[in-house]
Amino acid sequence: MSSTASRTTAPVTTIRPAVVGKLNERQVLRLLQTRGQMSRAEVARESGLSAPTVSKAVASLLKAGLLEEAEAPELARGRPAPRLRLATSSAQVLGIAIDVGHCEVVSAGLDGVLHGETLKIPTPESYPELIATLSETVHKLMAKPGMTTLGCGVSLPGLVDFRKARGVLSPNVPMTDGHAPAVDLAAKLGIECMLLQESHALCLAERHYGLARGLENFAVVDVGAGVGLGLMVGGRLLKGHSGLAGEIGHMTAIANGGRRCGCGNFGCLETVASDSALAYHAGKKLNRAVNVDEVIELAKTGVVELSAELQEIAGYLAIGVAAVVNLFNPEVVFIHSPLLDIDPGLLARVVEGVGQRALPPSFTECRILRAEGSKCQGAVAGIIQHLTDAVAPEVV
């Protein structure tokens, strides 16, 4: 036997016990997230982990506040085994959606189910007022007796540098440019806060609480004051180098001329295919300024006739969606827009337009549906994912 062979020993593992423990916690947590309430014995059976391993992981997750024990259903005989569930009555997370006309704030359990109504507040005119108003609103939700607040997700429109957690350029809410709302709110609230670009938030909302459950490749086109794009590719958000990917609202739709966009250019897609585009048309007819919230009500109630303008918007929106279909070949494109509440036939016209412009093989394989998720739900999903990763990080 050679000297080299004589020195051969068993392979040395580099996985530390602490890392294994975290992996076990993540497996237990994911199982409860997908399956709902379970007993420890059921978790052990479904996960393949041993009973002591499950007990240790559960103890850690209970201590972190991510799980709680629920009352078990009454059984005919014997003592019922306690049920484990994601924290809902003892802990909450908060979601904030910053937008042009108003901001929304919600409370939810770790299962993502909202507690009560969505709070809506008019968007203040300055950044310091924005942070102060949001802090005041959130403090009221944090004051619930017996409820621990674990964190808060913040959805922000425009370009968001995820590495710096900072707004870079928001043509429609420019007061946030260069600011870090999540960092500033965390300092005032004393809880963990994280920032999400609003199209990314919508992707998470649709995947966790909407029609995209189980989908790995889909797109969300957000048509609001602007036009944004969120992409889920292989089950992961496509963010780009700094998180700035997906700004289709600033692709040129009118090559020569067009209205000036909030980004400084002319003829951007969002100047012709958005709530703000409809508000512009309504303002011309009424001879006064109309904001994006007001135009929806004006159009719904028929105070202003905007059917021709909606038809034009549908045509331009079809151009943007067709580009998404051709570039990314998604299984589904979800459209998130209050414009769809005005005209029930608007989505069908957009789909027809996409069919005329997209490459037939890509269009045939793609469904175009209305999104069900909201930005606040996305903010909730984002902070839940962040807290999950902090306690039990995913190993890639």
pLDDT value at 249 more than 80 = yes
Among the residue ranges 131-140, 238-247, 312-321, 360-369, the one predicted with the least confidence is 238-247
Q: How confident is the model at residue 4 (pLDDT cuts 50, 70, 90)?
A: very low
Q: How confident is the model at residue 309 (pLDDT cuts 50, 70, 90)?
A: very high
| Mean pLDDT score, 13-40 | 80
- Report whether 109 contacts 115 (CB < 8 A): yes
Who's near 382: CB < 8 A, 6+ residues apart? 153, 155, 194, 196, 200, 201, 204
| Mean pLDDT score, 295-317 | 91
Return the pLDDT at 217: 96
| DSSP structural state of residue 15 | -
| Mean pLDDT score, 185-205 | 96
Q: How confident is the model at residue 44 (pLDDT cuts 50, 70, 90)?
A: very high
pLDDT value at 6 more than 60 = no
> What's the predicted TM-score (pTM) here?
0.87
Return the pLDDT at 393: 61
Provide the β-strand partners of residue 336: 222
pLDDT value at 76 more than 50 = no
- Report whether 200 contacts 97 (CB < 8 A): no
Q: How confident is the model at residue 392 (pLDDT cuts 50, 70, 90)?
A: low
Return left, alpha or beta for 84; rule: phi > 0 is left, psi -120 to 50 is alpha, else beta. Answer: beta
- Report whether 224 contacts 274 (CB < 8 A): yes
Q: Label residue 111 exposed, middle or buried (CB < 10 Å: 0-12, 13-18, 19+).
A: middle
d(CA 186, CA 93): 13
d(CA 82, CA 54): 14
Return the pLDDT at 8: 47
- Report whether 198 contacts 375 (CB < 8 A): yes
Share of the chain above pLDDT 90, in %: 69
Which one is predicted more confidently, 8 or 387? Answer: 387
Q: What six digits make up the tokens of 221?
A: 């086109």
d(CA 137, CA 221): 29
Which one is predicted more confidently, 175 or 74? Answer: 175
Among the residue ranges 7-21, 275-289, 365-379, the one predicted with the least confidence is 7-21
| Mean pLDDT score, 118-123 | 94
d(CA 279, CA 362): 33
Strand-by-strand arrangement of the 67-70 sheet: 38-39, 83-86, 67-70
- Report whether 156 contacts 98 (CB < 8 A): yes
Which one is predicted more confidently, 235 or 17? Answer: 235
| Mean pLDDT score, 157-185 | 94
Which of 237, 233, 317 lies closest to 272 in space, CA to CA?
A: 317
pLDDT value at 5 more than 50 = no
| Mean pLDDT score, 278-304 | 90
Q: How confident is the model at residue 344 (pLDDT cuts 50, 70, 90)?
A: confident
d(CA 168, CA 110): 30
Specify which of 67-81, 104-118, 179-193 reaches the highest per-range mean pLDDT. 179-193
| Helix/strand/coil percent split, the chain, to 5 | 45, 20, 35
| Mean pLDDT score, 335-354 | 94
Q: How confident is the model at residue 78 (pLDDT cuts 50, 70, 90)?
A: low
Mean pLDDT rounded to a whole number for the chain: 90
pLDDT value at 62 more than 70 = yes
DSSP helix/strand/coil, 82: coil
pLDDT value at 73 more than 70 = no
pLDDT value at 124 more than 60 = yes
Share of the chain above pLDDT 70, in %: 92
Return the pLDDT at 13: 46
Amino acid, single-letter form, for residue 214: G
Q: Which contiguous run of DSSP H or E holds residue 353? A: helix 346-357
The domains of the chain, with CATH numbers, are: 17-86 (1.10.10.10), 91-203+376-391 (3.30.420.40), 211-371 (3.30.420.40)
Q: How confident is the model at residue 33 (pLDDT cuts 50, 70, 90)?
A: confident
Phi, psi of 389 (to 5 degrees): -65, -35
Return the pLDDT at 1: 46
Return the pLDDT at 12: 45
Which of 384, 392, 393, 383 lies closest to 186 in space, CA to CA?
A: 383
Q: How confident is the model at residue 40 (pLDDT cuts 50, 70, 90)?
A: very high
Q: Which contiguous run of DSSP H or E holds residue 160? A: strand 159-161
